Amino acid sequence: MEPLDQQIEEGERAPSSESMMLNFGPSHPAMHGTVRIVMELSGENIRKADVQIGYLHRGFEKMCERGCWTQVFPYVDRCNYVSPMLNNVGFALAVEKLLGVTVPERCQYYRVILGELARIADHLTLTAAMSMELGAMTPLLWFFKAREMIYDVLEEETGARVTHSFGRVGGMAAPPSPHLKAMVSAVLPRISATVSEGEALLVKNRIFMDRLDGVGSISAKDAIALGWTGPCLRSAGVAYDVRKAHPYLVYDRFDFDVPVGTRGDNWDRFMVRIEEIRQSIRILEQATKQMPGDGPINIDDPRIVLPPKDEVYTTIEGAIAHFKIIMEGINVPAGEAYGYTEAANGELGFYLVSDGSGTPYRVRIRPPCFAIVSGLGGLIEGLMIPDVVPTFGSLNMVGGECDH
């Protein structure tokens, strides 16, 4: 460091007319996730911005090519660590598409319930983090209070709060606990009330409104061209939701709305997410009513699903089946398939190529926020420095997913 107390003659301190470069991140308190934005400033106006990602690159796709198909689940957990259950379900569905199998109805409902809980948790985390970055600490605590209720349910079901690794090809790791419906039904009204309280702290707050309203707008046409999906696209007025447009699992049996915005600014993105929490609660209410009380969770195919533990310990067939699946992996027939689901951020795609062995030949994840963050540079050009924080916050970049 050079000393700061230098003697500078007055005449030499004429203001510079040339623009200034400012480096934002990669580790900055106002950015959740490690991303670097290099900005060319004119005064406080951003003339040009370059968003640089990759600080959380962990070689997800390379690692997937080393184990068996089931061993990918812990990795997809860590891609989106805010709603890992949705990634688990998305990957399981993609492999099942390649295998040509469908899980039993009870498992489909179970996946919907756990997935929608994760979606609420994701939206809550984003909204909480965004409001905190704008200086509102109390809503953060409020939303996290609601998120903790969800994490309690997920912990009871899966045994882990965040990285569940609970999905399996052809089913789930464990059947639902007997009190799943009671737990979810008990927690939903409390989440709903807490979210309403947290929302009320924000939506009439002058400072919060001023920093969101009309800032970071994008047109529907631009958003589509950039490949945006999910709440960010819907906030621009395009009612595209994979759950409605291409229903998977049992989403066609639920009555829910797809909230859309009009201007595609930060405010719309915030409000779309709040509304989606309510819609997810509606789905959960219906799913807990419709879910069959008993029935199989895993498909009945010993080539795909592990045998029950007592069979493994007592019968030779069970031991062999267990050994084959653990040591060789599930033999997915050669071919390729693209499975896509609606994750909390948008369309989460898995493009899988199999060569017929137990190891994936290529696992390609299509993270929704990769496309969304690629539009960030264009979004903040022309804005001012303080607008970067809410704009970046409202896009919901999840570093693990964006950087693969």
Map residue 243 onto helix, strand or coil.
helix
Least distance (Å) between residue 22 CB and another protein:
9
Count residues near another protein (CB under 8 A). Answer: 59
Least distance (Å) between residue 45 CB and another protein:
14
Contact call for residue 366 and another protein (CB under 8 A): yes
- Kindly report the CA angle at 215 between 212 and 218, in degrees rounded to 5? 125
Q: Give dist(CA 363, CA 207) in Å, integer.
A: 44
Contact call for residue 81 and another protein (CB under 8 A): no
- Residue 174 contacts residue 274 (beta carbons within 8 Å): no
Instruction: Output the DSSP codes for 255-277.
Output: -------SS-SHHHHHHHHHHHH
Of 24-32, 141-149, 226-234, 254-262: span binding another protein (CB under 8 A): 226-234
Contact call for residue 252 and another protein (CB under 8 A): no
Least distance (Å) between residue 16 CB and another protein:
8
Q: Give dist(CA 85, CA 119) in Å, integer.
A: 9
Q: Give dist(CA 198, CA 121) in Å, integer.
A: 14
Q: Looking at 247, 335, 381, 385, which residue binds another protein (CB under 8 A)? A: 335
* Closest CB to another protein among residues 143, 248: 248
* Closest CB to another protein among residues 2, 310: 2
Contact call for residue 186 and another protein (CB under 8 A): no
Sign, CA dihedral 134-136-139-145, equals positive
Q: In the numeric block, which tokens belong to residue 215?
A: 């800032």
Q: Choose among 392, 338, 344, 385: nearest CA to 368.
A: 344
Contact call for residue 8 and another protein (CB under 8 A): yes
Of 53-61, 173-181, 277-285, 298-306: span binding another protein (CB under 8 A): 53-61
Contact call for residue 34 and another protein (CB under 8 A): no
- Residue 67 contacts residue 59 (beta carbons within 8 Å): no
Residues of this chain that bind another protein (CB under 8 A): 2, 6, 8, 12-13, 16, 18-21, 23, 38, 40, 48, 50, 52-54, 57, 59, 61-63, 65-66, 97-98, 100, 222, 224-229, 238, 240, 245-246, 335-338, 340, 347, 349, 351, 353, 361-362, 364, 366, 370-371, 373-375, 403-404
